[in-house]
Amino acid sequence: KEELEQMVHGYQTELDHLEEWVESIEDIQIQTMIELRYKERMTWNQVADEMGTVNTDDSCRKMVERFLAKGSDPDGSKKDDE
């Protein structure tokens, strides 16, 4: 039981860090798309509908994928290699 509680605590800590990271993303459009897709578990089509304007499911997906692939900090700057 204690081992399970430790695992749950670890997962909750990780989730808290991820939520803080998402909330710190300066590009509000990217932040919103990430929240809708991964937190609210919407499809890319639903994300595009929620975002409105001229966004398609593919454009939303590509914007988020590019942001994540860059290894960017929340402010959009590239992380330094450590």
Segment 51-63, tens digit of pLDDT: 987 889 999 999 9
**What CA dihedral angle connects 9, 15, 16 and 20, to 10 degrees?**
160
With bands split at pLDDT 50, 70 and 90, how would you rate the model's confidence at 77?
low
Q: Which position has the higher pLDDT, 33 or 75? A: 33
Amino acid at 39: K
53-68 burial, b if ≥16 CB within 10 A, otherwise e?
eebeeeebbebbeebe
| pLDDT of the residue at 82 | 44
Q: Per residue in 17-44, pLDDT tens?
A: 989 999 999 999 999 999 999 999 999 9
C-alpha gyration radius of the chain: 15
